[in-house]
Structure 1
């Protein structure tokens, strides 16, 4: 199955902010490369996720999410893969549910060495925090592994890209810093300034 609100061959890119009825070419694309077990991705999302969503809602750009699962190989386990499959089920429910669930996953991310996201019980429990997500179709997709083949395809697409570090953010062909040299998230105004500089 391929979730709604995706694009690319096999739906390997999750989209937020695109209006299918909007005339071409529409807003520019901001690409985000993430792994759901990556603590630095969580740090960036927890600090900047609201800003990203607001800028997308304002039509500044469309968000294209590319997810890797390489930390499963590096750390052992299946948490990145299982969480990504659950996130695909959320994307199928709606863009708002996808974004809220993504934020919830990162806010409750287990320690890097703990494979908590591999547990359906945890993934379903966190979905309780997202209004409108715990529908029968979402629960069934998580429990029946409905989007696991899709998640593998997404991970392979990430591996085939020229991106090897998460989080990586690219806008108009230029990297956008979401972490400073010390590995801390940049402030929202610093992020927004980079977007405006790239737009001018």
Structure 2
């Protein structure tokens, strides 16, 4: 074979290799573009979903009706005890939360005594996020029923009854309104047409949603969240574990040298001077 022919074959082979290399490079560039586009699409979709979820969680809502005697911004807090007590105990809890049930069954007698002695003003935030996690309506309907009991002036007693009869977290027993109505029969003076209608129509459903939205923005992540004068004390305060004895001790230490408050009957706060919003009596599923 002549040198000229060998050179021609070598050039053809080199051109073929160059073309193949260029094809592979184009294929790689195309693959990167496709993968990159897919990643961008996934990120964009995630951003859209995130915005939608955040909007659902943070959408501002002003309740059309709030239980009588509620306090704070938009009347989202149920107060118990003397408003002029020297210390404030803040409690965030969900009716379906088992840890809240355990907390209440252990501490509610002690808290009741502290309220009755004018030592603490208790502010309850009744949240309802467990329904979002497990499905059902027990948190929302239970919170509404507690609002109905507050509206009737029997919050503390009904609150204690509700937690004494709390079902398991995954059981949506409180999602049946009749169960909540029947529990009202254990509270003297609460079982009446007004309370039954309030529970059955979910009268304070908008208020319940507003309380939960406020919790979403609070920075707290779990229930029960318990604060004494703004400082966390559950499950412990500093290095000390919470107990009934420690709770009394912490309150007494905080109140040292201060005048005690004057609660109303059964720890209820004095009747408000302002009138609550007119209730929305249209049924809510």
TM tier relative to shorter chain: 0.7 to 0.9
User: Which residue of structure 2 lines up, in the alignment, with residue 119 of structure 1?
Assistant: 176
The answer on whether the counterparts of 1:31 and 1:169 sit within 8 Å (CA) in structure 2 is: yes
User: Which residue of structure 1 lines up, in the alignment, with residue 76 of structure 2?
Assistant: 12
Following TM superposition, by how much is the alpha carbon of 1:5 offset from its aligned partner in structure 2, in angstroms? 2.1
Following TM superposition, by how much is the alpha carbon of 1:7 offset from its aligned partner in structure 2, in angstroms? 0.4
Give the counterpart of 1:42 among 101, 107, 115: 101
The answer on whether the counterparts of 2:101 and 2:163 sit within 8 Å (CA) in structure 1 is: yes
User: Which residue of structure 2 lines up, in the alignment, with residue 67 of structure 1?
Assistant: 126
Give the counterpart of 1:53 among 100, 112, 119: 112
> More helix by proportion, 1 or 2?
2
The answer on whether the counterparts of 1:68 and 1:159 sit within 8 Å (CA) in structure 2 is: no
- Give distance in 2, aligned partners of 1:186 and 1:77: 32
User: Which residue of structure 2 lines up, in the alignment, with residue 22 of structure 1?
Assistant: none
- Give distance in 1, aligned partners of 2:248 and 2:74: 32
Q: How many residues align?
A: 189
Asked whether 1:103 is paired with 2:167, we answer: no
Q: What secondary structure does 1:128 align onto?
A: helix
Asked whether 1:154 is paired with 2:211, we answer: yes
- Give distance in 2, aligned partners of 1:5 and 1:58: 21
- Give distance in 2, aligned partners of 1:3 and 1:60: 25
Asked whether 1:175 is paired with 2:239, we answer: no
Give the counterpart of 1:77 among 136, 150, 166: 136
- TM-score, length-normalised on structure 1? 0.88
- Give distance in 1, aligned partners of 2:181 and 2:142: 10
Q: In the superposition, relative to structure 1, how do residues 37 and 163 fare at CA in structure 2: closer, same or farther (>3 Å)?
A: same
Following TM superposition, by how much is the alpha carbon of 1:165 offset from its aligned partner in structure 2, in angstroms? 1.5
Q: In the superposition, relative to structure 1, how do residues 178 and 106 fare at CA in structure 2: closer, same or farther (>3 Å)?
A: farther
- Give distance in 2, aligned partners of 1:187 and 1:65: 20
User: Which residue of structure 1 lines up, in the alignment, with residue 43 of structure 2?
Assistant: none
Q: In the superposition, relative to structure 1, how do residues 129 and 47 fare at CA in structure 2: closer, same or farther (>3 Å)?
A: same
User: Which residue of structure 1 lines up, in the alignment, with residue 252 of structure 2?
Assistant: 196
Give the counterpart of 1:129 among 186, 199, 220: 186
Deviations 1:69-125 (A, max 9, x none): 11111111111000000110000111xx10111111111111111111010110011
- TM-score, length-normalised on structure 2? 0.63
Following TM superposition, by how much is the alpha carbon of 1:179 offset from its aligned partner in structure 2, in angstroms? 7.0
Q: Which has the larger radius of gyration?
A: 2
